[in-house]
């Protein structure tokens, strides 16, 4: 087993655990935070908790971030308890407070930590194995949006400013083309033209949010399958996790990113673009699952953009890969020559596959609304 990089017994003392620390080990396959599973003894029972060190590289304001997580999870728990859910504490993350009563604790080295009860009898999957999983994940993300739709008080902190501002993302691409700091623009003229031809479409959702025609909601912003715990026995999507990017946004972004990450049969950096396709049966599973929990609160305008959302988020992601390629690979980690260009082309192929199937996708949305 992997070694602990941190002294978890010391971390345990920072939180109001009301149980005795036994041991801990690194856990999960997350790429952002350092996650530990810790065993405690509570009146003779062995129980598990998750301790996580927040990545301060990814998140510049961890305390604001934890204020968001605390507000969202507390509200979700209250709503679930109100509805009489017998498994309320399995259906949302809950923050164990620090000994000072805050949702985070700072260790001797200045690291920011949080603690959650371990969601038992459920697990996450790194790759989608079936339509049923896609449907359950989409349903769970819709449930999460429904629970957070009634969050009272001031808006959440925008933990990553402009995260899905596609208009701004395209502007960054144009800036990178103009600067051409690594002399790569000439070689990617075709790709540049592809994105520029779709510039108007990229600003549709941003403009509708600005004009108020689309509502600003609480959104998750990292709607991958490995951020939903599926029940070990029933396969049900029990709990949405990884709330680091939860902030104000459009429902369109959450659904679109599910389409981008769940409908293609191959990895995000597949070189053989002939293998990249938007699989309609997976899209149908996502629509069915998502609308089963979200249709009661979504506006007509939002529903009308669900098919398009997949294309939008795929274009957005592709534009970020191309921008990073032009800037000399400064943001996304690269593991081979032209890795960001390969990723760009794979997103373009997926967006083209969505474009080609748009009317059929729209018909499916109409069927389940
Ligand atoms: P990252 O941002 O690094 O992806 P996550 O919050 O998604 O971090 O956590 C990483 C992994 O740890 C998850 O994929 C999941 O398997 C596991 N995990 C996180 N929180 C819990 C929890 N409360 N109960 C059980 N497992 C959890
Ligand atoms: Mg995660
Ligand atoms: Mg994360």
Q: Using CA atoms, how far apart are residues 322 and 177, in angstroms rounded to an integer?
A: 9
317 has a pLDDT exceeding 70? yes
> Mean pLDDT score of the chain, rounded to an integer?
96
Q: What is the pLDDT of residues 218-273, one digit of tens each?
A: 999 999 999 999 999 999 999 999 999 999 999 999 999 999 999 999 999 999 99
Proximal ligand: closest to the CA of 123: 1
CATH of domain 131-368: 3.90.1200.10
Which residues have a Cβ under 8 Å from the Cβ of 200 and sit 6 or more positions away? none
**Which ligand is closest in space to the CA of residue 96?**
1
Ligand 3: centre distance to CA 211 (Å): 30
Confidence category of residue 129, pLDDT binned at 50, 70, 90: confident
| Stretch 279-297: mean pLDDT | 97
What dotted CATH number matches 8-119? 3.30.200
What is the CA(28)–ligand 3 centre distance, in A?
Answer: 12
pLDDT on residue 2: 73
Tell me how many helices (H) and strands (E) the chain has: 13, 10
The pLDDT score that the predictor gives to residue 68 is: 98
- Give the lowest-confidence range in 27-31, 168-172, 290-294: 27-31
Q: Which of 94-103, 154-163, 347-356 has the lowest mean pLDDT?
A: 154-163
21, 31, 336, 341 from 328: Cα distances, Å: 46, 22, 13, 11
What are the two backbone dihedrals, phi and then psi, of residue 52, each rounded to the nearest 5 degrees? Answer: -130, 130
Tokens at residue 346, please?
């794979």
Query: Does the pLDDT of residue 118 top 70, yes or no?
Result: yes
Determine which residue's CA is closest to atom 5 belonging to ligand 1.
242
* Ligand 1 proximal residues by C-beta, below 6 Å: 27-28, 30-33, 35, 50, 93, 116, 118-119, 124, 226-227, 241-242, 244
Mean pLDDT of 276-287: 98
Residue 1 pLDDT > 70, yes or no?
Answer: no
Whose Cα sits closest to atom 1 in ligand 1?
A: 30
pLDDT at 31: 76
21 confidence band (pLDDT: 50, 70, 90): very high
What band does 29 get if pLDDT is binned at 50, 70 and 90?
confident
- The domain spans of the chain are 8-119, 131-368
Question: Is residue 60 within 8 Å of residue 38, measured between CB atoms?
Answer: no
- pLDDT exceeds cutoff 80 at 30: no
Per-residue pLDDT averaged across 182-201, rounded?
Answer: 97
Percent of the chain topping pLDDT 70: 100
Question: pLDDT tens digits, residue range 321-367?
Answer: 999 999 999 988 889 999 999 999 999 999 999 999 999 999 999 99
CB neighbours of 140 closer than 8 A, spacing ≥ 6? 228, 237, 238, 239, 240, 289, 293
């Amino acid at each position: 087993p992997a070694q602990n990089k941190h002294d978890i017994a010391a971390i345990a003392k920072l939180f109001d655990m009301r149980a005795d620390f036994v041991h801990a080990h690194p856990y999960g396959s997350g790429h952002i935070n350092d996650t530990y599973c810790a065993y405690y003894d509570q009146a003779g029972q062995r129980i598990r908790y998750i301790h996580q060190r927040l990545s301060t590289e990814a998140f510049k304001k961890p305390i604001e971030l934890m204020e968001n997580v605390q507000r969202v999870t507390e509200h979700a728990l209250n709503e679930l308890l109100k509805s009489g859910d017998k498994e309320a504490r399995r259906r949302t993350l809950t923050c164990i407070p620090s000994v000072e009563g805050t949702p985070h604790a700072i260790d001797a080295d200045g690291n920011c930590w949080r603690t959650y009860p371990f969601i038992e009898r459920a697990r996450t999957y790194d790759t989608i194995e079936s339509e049923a999983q896609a449907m359950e994940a989409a349903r769970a993300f819709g449930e999460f949006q429904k629970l957070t739709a009634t969050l009272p008080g001031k808006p959440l902190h925008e933990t990553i400013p402009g995260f899905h501002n596609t208009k701004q993302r395209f502007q960054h691409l144009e800036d990178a083309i103009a600067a051409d700091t690594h002399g790569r623009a000439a070689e990617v003229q075709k790709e540049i033209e592809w994105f520029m031809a779709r510039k108007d479409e990229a600003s549709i959702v941003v403009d509708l949010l600005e004009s108020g025609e689309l509502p600003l909601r609480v959104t998750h912003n990292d709607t991958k399958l490995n951020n939903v715990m599926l029940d070990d026995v029933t396969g049900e999507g029990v709990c949405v996790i990884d709330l680091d990017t939860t902030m104000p946004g459009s429902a369109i972004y959450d659904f679109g990113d599910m389409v981008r990450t769940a409908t293609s049969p191959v990895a995000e950096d597949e070189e053989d673009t002939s293998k990249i396709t938007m699989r309609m049966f997976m899209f149908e599973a996502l629509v069915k699952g998502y609308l089963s929990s979200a249709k009661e609160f979504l506006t007509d305008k939002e529903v009308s953009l669900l098919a398009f959302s997949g294309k939008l988020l795929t274009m957005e992601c592709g534009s970020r890969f191309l921008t990073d390629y032009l800037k000399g690979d400064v943001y996304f980690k690269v593991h081979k020559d032209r890795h960001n260009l390969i990723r760009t082309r794979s997103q373009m192929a997926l967006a083209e596959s969505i474009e080609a199937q748009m009317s059929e996708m729209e018909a499916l949305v109409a069927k389940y609304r």
